[in-house]
Amino acid sequence: MLEKNPVIFIILAFVVIMVGTTITMIAPFKWINGPGDSIAEVKPYTPLQQEGRDLYMREGCNNCHSQTVRTLASDVERYGYGGTYSKSGEFVYDRPHLWGSRRTGPDLAHIGLKYPDPKGAWHRKHMENPQSVVPASNMPAYAFLNQPLDTTYSERKMKLLKFPYTQADLDDLKGKSEMDAIIAYMRKLGTDIPVKKAEAAMQAPVTANNPFTNLEAIEKEAKSLYSQQCASCHGEKREGTLGPALKGSAKSDADLFKIISQGIEANGMPSFSSSLDEQKIWKLVTLIKKDIK
């Protein structure tokens, strides 16, 4: 009969398609984003952050950047930035989700934890000219975001998304650029859930004393590490750009180790405990201690 009646055939095909659809797509609405998933600390976006998120969508950032830290150790280490893997409750205000499918660039789910600087100086420099910060990067330059932010729909967006906002939030949009908005969004990502950064980072090295006292033996490796990890903010010649100059230091080896490992939140210095192991940090300490003119 099926070979002769197209109406019955189409109804049957629809039913067959709907079985898997119902079980794996419709039914999960019962559990996902329910009370079990909710995280009290996660807050909706402010008008400025939501504008930034919309710009992230406009520019198609999701084509190269994912936004989910998987439950894999290497993912947590690389993209957790002191936090942990992504949880459902972190995304309840995301319409649409921006998890992405390709990491041409790094995952950004917790990028707000990486650069603590409230002014977002690193992001600004990087967005304007990515290669000035990360020389081999293949990211396009987004200097054109230094144009006034269109706030025509900002309030209506808050209402549509049912996000709370105050007049102060709306006033905060005045005079802001698109760059300011996207940086505000970057700085929010992953920061709602408090992270005890000092705990997450290495408190103290396993080897109490710097094992690399002879710079000459490790100079080549240390310099390469420096240009990969430090040069973008402290300058290729350690002259200082976003961060201070590092031409020799009076600080003790142990203090320098702690700064590199844990970062200095107030100054915007990120923690490097997940990207550098102990040996590498000690080598950098030895290099930085060297007084160059």
Residues 13 to 42: which contact another protein by CB under 8 A? 13-14, 16-21, 23-25, 28-29, 31-33, 37
130 binds another protein (CB under 8 A): yes
The set of residues, in sequence order, having a beta carbon less than 8 Å from that of 127 and lying 6+ positions away, is: 141, 142, 143, 145, 179, 182, 183
Residue with Cβ nearer another protein (103 or 119):
103
Under rule CB under 8 A, residue 10 binds another protein: yes
> In DSSP terms, which residues pair with 117 in a beta bridge?
none
Window 161-220: residues binding another protein (CB under 8 A): 161, 206
62 scored as a contact of another protein (CB under 8 A): yes
Q: How far is CA 205 from CA 91, 202, 261, in A?
A: 36, 7, 9
- Could you tell me which residues are beta bridge partners of residue 240? none
CA distance 50 to 182: 9
In the list 122, 142, 185, 212, the residue contacting another protein (rule: CB under 8 A) is 142
Least distance to another protein from the beta carbon of 145, Å? 9
Q: Is 106 in the site for another protein (CB under 8 A)?
A: yes
Q: How far is the CB of 91 from another protein (least distance, A)?
A: 3
Rounded distance between C-alpha atoms, residue 283 and residue 216, angstroms: 11
Q: Which two tokens stand for residue 36?
A: 């079990």
Contacting another protein (CB under 8 A), which of 35, 40, 136, 291?
136
Tell me the backbone φ, ψ of residue 14, rounded to 5 degrees. -60, -45
For the bound state, the minimum distance from the C-beta of residue 101 to another protein, rounded and expressed in Å, comes to 6
Q: By CB under 8 A, which span of 81-89, 115-123, 180-188, 238-246 interacts with another protein? A: 81-89
Helix (H, G, I), strand (E, B) or coil at 177: strand
